[in-house]
């Protein structure tokens, strides 16, 4: 099943065209990796999928992004609703400077869930889902910033899934983490993919090859190649892709 379909997407920061004519289909409950050199537009593309670019002034979008067939850039789309369905995990672990519990409970609370018992069960479920529960179950009221970075990032993932999204966007979620924490996140992604559609931006080619089912290669605002991960890494169709993944370009 196709979860997201992007058709002829152009994106502008003022007059600067950061994405041109990007079309890609993203499968449900798969991990799609986006790779490419710095500044090629991966983050920009990712933010187009939950309209986080809306908050940046002077930006403009052409083309369509269909989520379950509905164009998210249609003027009837409620952006707040969209972001509940398409969650996001950022590059730097960024828990709120509050307790572990409050961090995970934030999403459900803004949705209007106030009952302490329901909240507690969502928090537990989300922390389990993010493979963090056993490490923090006895210290839910401690400051989230007292956690190690890798734990903080998993807390951010828990915070995201507490909203029960359908899609999770991850922008280089491991780039601030050590190898062990990175491995934990990668394992976590494998378990998350049974429930969620995941799109991950990564600079780490091995990571893309290890975790993803489908890979898109961006170059200077264009999607050069997008295919099943195995094919991209073993039989790339374009010379540019081959040069990049073998380290000759970028």
Binding site for Mg ion (CB under 5 A): 43
**Which of other proteins, Mg ion, ligand ATP, none has residue 105 at its interface (CB below 5 to 8 Å by kind)?**
other proteins
Residue of 89, 93, 157 whose CA lies nearest to 125: 157
Cβ atoms of residues 29 and 193 within 8 Å: yes
Q: Distance between CA atoms of 9 and 17, rounded to whole angstroms?
A: 11
**Which of residues 50, 202, 229, 241 is near other proteins by CB under 8 A?**
50
Q: How far is CA 120 from CA 2, 106, 140, in A?
A: 34, 12, 10
Tokens 């559609």 identify what position? 197
CB-wise, 161 or 224, nearer to other proteins? 161
Residue of 21, 23, 25, 8 whose CA lies nearest to 228: 25
13 binds other proteins (CB under 8 A): no
Cβ atoms of residues 1 and 25 within 8 Å: no
**Which of Mg ion, ligand ATP, other proteins, none has residue 158 at its interface (CB below 5 to 8 Å by kind)?**
none
Q: Distance between CA atoms of 150 and 173, rounded to whole angstroms?
A: 10
How many residues bind other proteins (CB under 8 A)? The answer is 26
Tokens 């997407």 identify what position? 9
Angle at 212 between CA 209 and CA 217, to 5 degrees: 70
**Which of ligand ATP, other proteins, Mg ion, none has residue 83 at its interface (CB below 5 to 8 Å by kind)?**
other proteins
Nearest distance from C-beta of residue 142 to other proteins, angstroms? 11
184 binds other proteins (CB under 8 A): no
Which of the ranges 17-25, 77-85, 177-185, 188-196 carries the binding residues for other proteins, by CB under 8 A?
77-85
Burial (CB count <10 Å: 0-12, 13-18, 19+), residue 34: buried
Nearest distance from C-beta of residue 211 to other proteins, angstroms? 22
CB-wise, 42 or 154, nearer to ligand ATP? 42
Which of the ranges 9-17, 106-114, 184-192, 197-205 carries the binding residues for other proteins, by CB under 8 A?
106-114
CA 71 to chain centre: 19
77 binds other proteins (CB under 8 A): no
Which residues are at the interface with other proteins (CB under 8 A)?
Answer: 50, 52, 55, 80-81, 83-84, 87-88, 90, 92, 94, 96-99, 102, 105-107, 109-111, 159-160, 163
């Amino acid at each position: 099943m196709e979860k997201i379909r992007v058709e002829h997407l152009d994106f502008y920061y003022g007059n600067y065209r950061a994405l041109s004519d990007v079309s890609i289909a993203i499968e449900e409950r798969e991990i799609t990796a986006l790779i490419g050199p710095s500044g090629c537009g991966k983050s920009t593309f990712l933010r187009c999928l939950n309209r986080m670019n809306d908050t940046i002034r002077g930006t403009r979008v052409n083309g369509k992004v269909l989520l379950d067939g509905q164009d998210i850039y249609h003027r009837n789309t409620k952006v707040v609703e969209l972001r509940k369905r398409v969650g996001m995990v950022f590059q730097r672990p960024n828990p709120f400077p509050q307790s572990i519990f409050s961090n995970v409970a934030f999403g459900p609370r803004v949705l209007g869930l106030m009952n302490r018992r329901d909240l507690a069960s969502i928090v537990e479920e989300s922390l389990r889902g993010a493979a963090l529960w056993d490490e923090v179950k006895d210290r839910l009221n401690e400051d989230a910033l007292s956690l190690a970075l890798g734990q903080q990032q998993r807390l951010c993932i828990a915070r995201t899934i507490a909203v029960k999204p359908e899609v999770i966007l991850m922008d280089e979620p491991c780039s601030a983490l050590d190898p062990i924490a990175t491995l934990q996140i990668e394992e976590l992604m494998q378990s998350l993919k049974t429930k969620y559609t995941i799109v991950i931006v990564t600079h780490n080619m091995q990571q893309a090859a290890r975790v993803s089912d489908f890979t898109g290669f961006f170059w200077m605002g264009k999607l050069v190649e997008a295919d099943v991960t195995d094919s991209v890494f073993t039989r790339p169709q374009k010379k540019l892709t081959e040069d990049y993944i073998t380290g000759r370009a970028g």
